[in-house]
Amino acid sequence: MSALSRIGLVGLGSMGMGMAQSLIRAGFDTYGFDLNPDACARLAEAGAAGTGPSALPYADRLDALMLVVVNGAQVEAVLFGEQGLAQALRPGSLVIVCSTLAATQTQSIHRRLAELGLEMIDAPISGGAVKAADGKLSVMASGKPELFEQARGLFDAVAEKLYVVGPDIGQGSTVKTIHQLLAGVHIAAAAEAMAMAAKAEIPLELMFEVVTHSAGNSWMFENRVPHILDGDYAPRSSVDIFVKDLGIVLDTAHQMKFPLPLASAAHQMFLAASNEGYGREDDAAVVKTFKGIRLPEGK
């Protein structure tokens, strides 16, 4: 099975842009697609072989298509919608789904692709925009072993850590689902802690300094609390993304008849933040749901 050389990537947001740029640096013929013309222009300046709002004009020349879109509905639309790519890709082409989906949806997509003679790797990602730009993401993947051999260079370009969970599509999505349980709970807990510090009139910068040098620290605390300190809620990852992701976590647990009390509470916090109008703000905006406190304002 030959290695891949021509890669299309759909979704040039904070993660997809960095991944596409990493592929260009690694020498791949990289094609990037997004409805945002500014994102396409930026990737073209970085050396993309082609860009545009749709991958359809380029579909027959791609060896692999990576999907880095927001949710499962967008994955379905890109592949199977009115202008869907699945029918246009060459049989044997590889589809790599990097979005966070429920394992059941990932498996359904795999079955439909297989009927068209297309291969698939289930490869959700984590690490944020900075690691995406540096080619140092973590990938939780599943699929046929020979596909990982074929795509080795691709994953080397975008990821610092590739965890191959197993051969069955859906296993990667399940690991990402459990990861998102932790991520969502950690953000909610960080917001709760900083809100309590604000109520107690503890300087928030001091609280951040103490926690990040003590046992209560987490990656999410260290990464998201600076947004609160700066009063900067421009979305790196939004409140509504965690409404979605923790919803997937809880739906998966319901199917397993497995209780998740902390994830349930965190989901309610993100739902409350979305209900109050913060859905499109950075996920650290969940701290705004706490009343009777003063938070830093943006500079």
For the four alpha carbons of 141, 147, 152 and 157, in that order, the dihedral sign comes to: negative
Catalogue the E-assigned strands of 181-259. Answer: none
Look-up of token digits 């997004």: 34
> What backbone phi and psi angles, to 5 degrees, belong to 241?
-65, -40
For the four alpha carbons of 210, 213, 215 and 221, in that order, the dihedral sign comes to: positive
| Cα–Cα distance measured from residue 264 to residue 253, given in angstroms and rounded to the nearest whole number | 10
Cα–Cα–Cα angle for 102, 168, 4, rounded to 5 degrees: 100
Supply the DSSP symbol for 294: -
| Cα–Cα distance measured from residue 179 to residue 236, given in angstroms and rounded to the nearest whole number | 18
> Active-site residue among 131, 176, 244, 288?
176
| Cα–Cα distance measured from residue 211 to residue 134, given in angstroms and rounded to the nearest whole number | 27
The yes-or-no answer on residue 199 being catalytic is: no
Q: Of 17, 13, 123, give the one whose Cα is nearest residue 64.
A: 123
**Structure token digits, residue 213:** 């040098």
Give the length of the chain.
299
Catalogue the E-assigned strands of the chain. Answer: 6-10, 29-33, 50-52, 64-67, 94-97, 119-122, 125-126, 137-142, 159-166
Cα–Cα–Cα angle for 55, 60, 64, rounded to 5 degrees: 70
> What backbone phi and psi angles, to 5 degrees, belong to 20?
-65, -40
Q: Which residues does the annotation mark as catalytic?
A: 176
